[in-house]
Amino acid sequence: MVVSVNSVSTYEETTQSIARDLIQATRQKGNIFKQLKEQMQFDDKLMNWTMSNPGLRVQLFRFIDALPALRSNSEIARHLQQYLTTEEVELPDALKGILNFTEPNSPPAQIASATITKAVETLAYKYISGETIKEVIKAVEKMRKEKMCFSIDLLGEAVITEVEAESYLQNYLDLITQLSNQAQKWGNIPEIDQADGENLSKVQVSVKLTAFYSQFDPVDPEGAKLKVYDRIRTLLRHAKEHNTSIHFDIEQYTYKDVVINLLRELLMEEEFKTRTDIGVTLQGYLRDSEKDLNDWITWAKKRGNPITIRLVKGAYWDQETIKSRQNHWQQPVFNDKAETDINYEKLTRLLLENHDYLNSAIASHNVRTQANAIAIAETLKIPKRKFECQILYGMGETLARAIVKRGHRVRVYAPYGQLLPGMAYLIRRLLENTANSSFLRQNAEEKPIDELVAPPTIPPNPPFKGGSNGFQGAPDTDYGRESNLTKARQGLTIVHNQLGKTYLPLINGKYVETEEYIDSVNPSNPAEVVGKIGLISLSQADEAMESAKQAFKTWSKTPAKQRADILRKAGDIMEAKRHELTAWMCYEVGKIIKEGDPEVSEAIDFCRYYADEMERLDRGYNYDVAGENDRYFYQPRGIALIVSPWNFPFAISTGMTVAALVAGNCALLKPAATSTVIGAKIAEILTEAGIPDGVFQYIPGKGSVVGDYLVKHPDIHLIAFTGSREVGCKIYADASIVQPKQKHLKRVIAEMGGKNAIIIDESADLDQAVAGVVQSAFGFSGQKCSACSRAIVLSTVYDTFVERLTEAVKSINVGDAKNPSTKVGPVIDATAQKRILEYIEQGKQEGKLAIQVATPENGYFVPPTVIIDIPENATIAQEEIFGPVLAVIKADNFDRALEIANGTDYALTGGLYSRTPDHIDRAYKEFEVGNVYINRGITGAIVARQPFGGFKLSGVGSKAGGPDYLLQFLEPRVVTENIQRQGFAPIEGADN
């Protein structure tokens, strides 16, 4: 529709007038804090305290997050003290009194626990409409008496198993049935049940599309469609039968595009095309929300029947900001709240001016925001059916009553469900209510009305809230964007069209023919040859050694900046070929796209980080004193043999190789036989980047022949190895023997695997813990040296954890690695398959089989397997299996859990899921692993942020991607010069 300029110009004047009226209405009974001053309850005092003490706010909300998992008053008391008696928390006197107890089992501690628990429950029930449908019905009937309608949202949408997804659907079907049956008893309220002569649904429920399928993943929109569509159709049909409207919420940004696309397609189906009782959320804090709204308008015009757009500001700002920073993505949300408010008003106007095509639901507790929408709706005389205002249950009630009084429909978004799954929702509400920028807080504190009703403006030079000092890693691909999915598919096509080519060794800058060749095959389909590889002979190994010795004479003297720039160029080439390189890993080692892409990022980071590090080290150090110059600097060691693994065929191979090269060494890369094509791709990239002939050489060959020969070769100075403990220990032993004519001791850097454990204690968030263990144990079929092979679970939560873990594993999709729905692909070859299956059979004798997932018949597949009730000294609890096998061990207490976790020969990675500060602190100090991960998965270390490596029999050497890694590839030297001449020397600052 066309709106006149004069009408538009009246929006602001009318907005401010309406806003003033609404604010006056919300303040008629006085400031809420003044009202409650005499009879203020403890939960209100908690909220007041958090507003004035940021440290208390953080710790208190962390405690509230953990509270539902705590099983006794003693545990609650213990956690209270651990959270609230830290140095960063300045406690009010009243709270100090409550926490003034010595033993968690003492009567004062029990009283404190009961007091806090009751206060938090009271808080929760302010924002949650009930724990049962009966309570919800009572709440909504109260809303209707105040002439407000409702939308009910079922808490607990964190779905990680198919059982939970099916339960989510069934719970909504039951909710719709019971609410609609009750609605038949309700009298008609014209203000909310009718509009423009049309009867409206008395019942509305809000659902989250992602909760209808446990494996919902943006990388697999077609797979999501197959599962979700059937369940959504069932829901929509049931809703129609019961005269209920359905609203689809939008959650995290990563799901937005795929959810929108799925809904647009579904709602164009003939059965649903005429439905107007359906709505979708639009989040105003997203930078691309205006584009999304314009797309909805275009879609609605084509559909011919409107749906409702619920315009919200957004509830996941912190989460989206953190995730984008961690992944080095462009931040999807606006940085400043004023930017969101400006965008929201722009969206409001766009939406309302297109009311012929879309209905609008303006969801906000900001009086200015609602007044702006009302001003536009009244100016344009928008029909009642086309416009409503919305608030959240327990928030903004006085504003809602004022809007109702003005004659507009108000809907209350009312969550219901148990306290535990509702905790994340509660925390979001508490964060919103206690934020300095919260309109509700500012209005309650009676901030001047002129300031509250003024148009939002962006402050000059808003503080930058993103980024960090130091190294910035390459961003992983955001598969939530359709354009990136297209690139991933193109990469698979490019690689498929190149399958079967021959790859030759690169010696002294030339590709050389060989007498022996092997086929590298696709482990998902062993009949498919990925590439034919030429294997070098011993005489060719000697040629490679000789050319490296000659090249070293020049390369070792090449300026560090020049060497570093070659690495940076290599990193740029990798970035340009990212999707193709990911596809090569998918085909040659069976790594799914979402596992392969971060590996490309890691390889790029190795190139760029080690380039920076070498330039830093090249500057050396000066330790001068009067009359003497002391220089500490580094020189390269010589010739490096790189023996790289197949499980991280691109990142680890690249990292070890470029570390040697940038330090001025010459490098011979001997990749694992099963990942030789990827090794050839590294050779192509380094050659294109400008590595001189002989400095780097690609020498695929048999480990038992060429590998052993070169390890013992007297001209090898350094061996960088990643692989099995057996091979690593043999290399370490062989390299220690000084060969004839050898004038140095060889340096060995060896990463040899782990038997990694994740501990789950009674305070853990089990949603996080189950998902983290599943990803850590079964990502890349458990073929990561960092993979979780043991879950050590405290007895108090053991049965609950095992039950959810079993169902989560049962829900995993196993199949061809290039299928986007696949979460677990094949193992590397037939030998590995046979060995892992033997371990599984042994595990069945040592414990109890909990779950074993079906696998395709073709390919080297091993069923994801969970074996529970495992003794800590059992074979599968001690030996590295390197496959999708998880042993679950019960521990009576945290001390025993740590003892079990530390009771192996390995010390690589480990994890803890806990919300107990003392347990987290002890994991820092006592968990004997190189990398400890708290409340997250234990795989996927990031260069510079999480340098990677372990000790004990997990390996020897400094951490890859860390500040001391390159030192292993260098020899330190010191030169001291006496600069005195006949008793005089330059003295800084001396008078002439």
Report the pLDDT averaged over residues 439-450: 62
Between CA 319 and CA 881 the distance in angstroms is 36
The type of residue at 308 is T
Between CA 645 and CA 16 the distance in angstroms is 67
Tokens of 488: 């991933």
The β-bridge partners of 416 are: 154
Note whether 825 and 864 are within 8 A (CB).
no
Give the tens place of pLDDT for each residue, 26-69: 776 544 444 334 334 666 666 667 666 777 778 888 888 888 88
Q: How confident is the model at residue 449 (pLDDT cuts 50, 70, 90)?
A: confident
Between CA 979 and CA 985 the distance in angstroms is 6
Element (H, E) at 608: helix 593-618
Q: What's the pLDDT score for residue 9?
A: 58
Give the tens place of pLDDT for each residue, 205-239: 999 999 999 999 999 999 999 999 999 999 999 99
Look up 149 and say whether it is catalytic: no
Note whether 662 and 567 are within 8 A (CB).
yes
DSSP 8-state secondary structure symbol assigned to residue 477 = P
Between CA 86 and CA 63 the distance in angstroms is 13
Catalytic residue among 75, 157, 320, 751: 751
Report the pLDDT averaged over residues 182-201: 93
Q: Helices 42-52 and 54-66 sit at what angle, rounded to 10 degrees?
A: 130
Note whether 680 and 531 are within 8 A (CB).
yes
Distances (CA, A) of 328 to 65, 578, 694: 28, 16, 36
- Which residues, other chains included, contact 703 with Cβ-Cβ below 8 Å and sequence gap of 6+? 643, 670, 673, 727
3-state SS record for 112-164:
HHHHHHHHHHHHHHHHCCCCCHHHHHHHHHHHHHCCCEEEEEECCCCCCCHHH
Q: What's the pLDDT score for residue 94?
A: 72
Q: What's the pLDDT score for residue 771?
A: 96
**For residue 939, pLDDT beyond 60:** yes
Share of the chain above pLDDT 70, in %: 92
- Which residues, other chains included, contact 554 with Cβ-Cβ below 8 Å and sequence gap of 6+? 692
Q: What's the pLDDT score for residue 37?
A: 40
Give the Cα-Cα-Cα angle 382, 387, 388 (nearest 5 degrees): 145
Least-confidence region, from 269-278, 426-435, 830-839: 426-435
More confident residue, 796 or 459: 796
Q: What's the pLDDT score for residue 111?
A: 85
**For residue 734, pLDDT beyond 80:** yes
**For residue 678, pLDDT beyond 50:** yes
Q: Is 985 exposed, middle or buried (0-12, 13-18, 19+ CB in 10 A)?
A: middle
Give the tens place of pLDDT for each residue, 801-816: 999 999 999 999 999 9
Q: What's the pLDDT score for residue 920?
A: 97
Q: Helices 397-406 and 367-380 sit at what angle, rounded to 10 degrees?
A: 20
Between CA 952 and CA 930 the distance in angstroms is 9
The alpha carbon dihedral of 791, 794, 799, 800 has a sign of: negative
Look up 785 and say whether it is catalytic: yes
First vs last Cα of the chain: how many Å apart? 85
Between CA 205 and CA 154 the distance in angstroms is 8
Q: To which residue do tokens 């943006």 refer?
A: 218
Catalytic residue among 149, 389, 666, 785: 785
Q: What's the pLDDT score for residue 860?
A: 98
Share of the chain above pLDDT 90, in %: 77
More confident residue, 112 or 172: 172
Least-confidence region, from 100-114, 450-464, 594-608, 901-915: 450-464
Q: How confident is the model at residue 892 (pLDDT cuts 50, 70, 90)?
A: very high
Tokens of 182: 């009750």
**For residue 431, pLDDT beyond 90:** no
Q: Rank 194-198, 315-319, 434-438, 920-924 by mean pLDDT and report only the highest.
A: 920-924
Half-sphere exposure of 237 toward its Cβ, with a 13 Å CA cutoff?
9
Query: What are the two backbone dihedrals, phi and then psi, of residue 643, each rounded to the nearest 5 degrees?
Result: -110, 105
Q: What's the pLDDT score for residue 38?
A: 37
Give the tens place of pLDDT for each residue, 738-750: 999 999 999 999 9
Distances (CA, A) of 143 to 279, 367, 736: 21, 20, 80
Q: Give this prediction's pTM.
A: 0.92
**For residue 463, pLDDT beyond 60:** no
**For residue 456, pLDDT beyond 70:** yes
Report the pLDDT averaged over residues 293-313: 97
**For residue 427, pLDDT beyond 60:** yes
**For residue 601, pLDDT beyond 50:** yes
**For residue 525, pLDDT beyond 90:** yes
Average pLDDT, the chain: 91
Q: How confident is the model at residue 80 (pLDDT cuts 50, 70, 90)?
A: confident
Q: How confident is the model at residue 428 (pLDDT cuts 50, 70, 90)?
A: confident
Q: How confident is the model at residue 426 (pLDDT cuts 50, 70, 90)?
A: confident
Q: What's the pLDDT score for residue 905?
A: 96
**For residue 433, pLDDT beyond 80:** no
